[in-house]
Amino acid sequence: MSNHKLLQTWRWYGPNDPVSLQDVKQAGASGIVSALHYIPHGEVWPLEDIKERKAIIEASGLTWSVVESVPVHEAIKTRRADADKYIENYKQSLRNLAAAGLKTICYNFMPVLDWTRTQLDLEMPNGAKALYFNWTDLAIFDLHIFKRAGAEADYPAEIVAKAKTKLETMSQAELDLLRTNVLMGIPNEKEIELETLRASIEEYKVIGHEGLQKNLAWFLASIAETCTELCIKMTIHPDDPPYPILGLPRIASTKEDLVAILRSVDQPFNGICYCTGSLGAGTKNNLVELFEAVKERVYFLHLRNVSKDEEGNFFEADHLGGDVNMYEVMKVVTAENSKRAEPIPFRPDHGHQMLDDLNKITNPGYSAIGRLRGLAELRGLELGITGNY
């Protein structure tokens, strides 16, 4: 049994991130989670670029611990005719990362869109701002802005009615903002175009849930030898939110999904990024039970919290507030960590925009002070459970 603590990390978007590496050090993290977001999806990450980013991080006295994310090109997710080229590029990026000593890689297999929210500044009772997902607002986007064929069948009648009523009260500026929020994607990367989304939805209609599962298994089988040879651990990020949206299938949303992914290519490199926020938004997910089912292959942790209502709308709550019982989660996480030769990296995922950050331009969910608060709370919770100073 080891007595090391979880590895405290912090997501940093690179030199353009409003939060500096000096800020990260003051927050108390020692590891950095970063990626080369400026490289177009599907292109090889050059070794020199990787080394440059690593050198910047290390010059500040920190360590690049996890790569999040190396994006999986849509050609792979859909297994188009040119997919093999992108598989080869992916493998080369992995080789280059391993050559720089980077061995823990996060990725997702969500079709087209990354995480999806309908509002980025929901005001909390204390004046802080949080990210929010609301089904009525998504229906307004889907039915009345995007105008997806057959979309109405995907929503309960009461949500369709609420969307119609609310639409009548919204200004053009509010509709434009909703469109921007839904299509946002990752900071420093471009937003998705409506026509691209429309074409992709048609493509995924043919592929379906089972087809997407098979394509993920094919991707993992294709990189298995490279990952094993280089001692790389791949960690799939759960779907966010963890249910089908806009007619797109989801395959990493539940315990059954994650167990199926691990079994599809049952090798040690094939692992999970355990995200309590994404999984916690699922109304049927038991977070402790889910962790226990996959814990031996959890190589990265995102710890954050959500509060849901009876419709399944949710906002991102304080790290120790919300529906996820973080005390019970931290108990099983630290128990597993005590068995590891190397500590599991975790980051305080997302955080409220609060205090002085309310007056700054920040990446949605990634302001400094809200995450500093989350890291401090999670660190204290871990210490209270383990007594490990």
Q: Which residues are catalytic?
A: 237, 275, 302, 349-350, 366
Task: State the pairing for strand pair 298-303/119-123.
Answer: unpaired
Question: Quick one: 210 exposed, middle or buried, by C-beta within 10 A (0-12, 13-18, 19+)?
Answer: exposed
Judge contact between 166 and 144, C-beta under 8 A: no
Asked if 149 and 202 count as a contact pair (C-beta separation under 8 A), the reply is no
Measured CA to CA, the distance from residue 194 to residue 180 in angstroms comes to 10
339 and 362 Cβ atoms separated by less than 8 Å: no
CA distances in angstroms from 118 to 178, 192, 313, 379, listed in the order given: 6, 15, 10, 30
Contact between 187 and 364 under an 8 Å Cβ cutoff? The reply is yes
How is residue 171 annotated by DSSP?
Answer: -
CA 180/CA 248 separation, integer angstroms:
19
Q: Where are the alpha helices (DSSP H) in the chain?
A: 21-27, 47-59, 74-78, 83-99, 135-139, 157-167, 172-182, 194-230, 255-264, 276-280, 287-294, 326-337, 368-386
Q: Count CA atoms within 13 Å of residue 80 on its CB side.
A: 12
Residue 37: CB partners within 8 Å, gap ≥ 6? 13, 14, 186, 187, 188, 189
Task: Cis check for the bond before 348: say yes or no (omega within 30 of 0).
Answer: no
Both structure tokens of 323: 């529906």
Contacts of 377 by beta carbon, 8 Å cutoff, 6+ apart: 318, 319, 320
Residue 232: closest CA among 95, 47, 343, 76: 95
What is the spatial distance between Cα 30 and Cα 360, in angstroms, rounded to a whole number?
A: 25
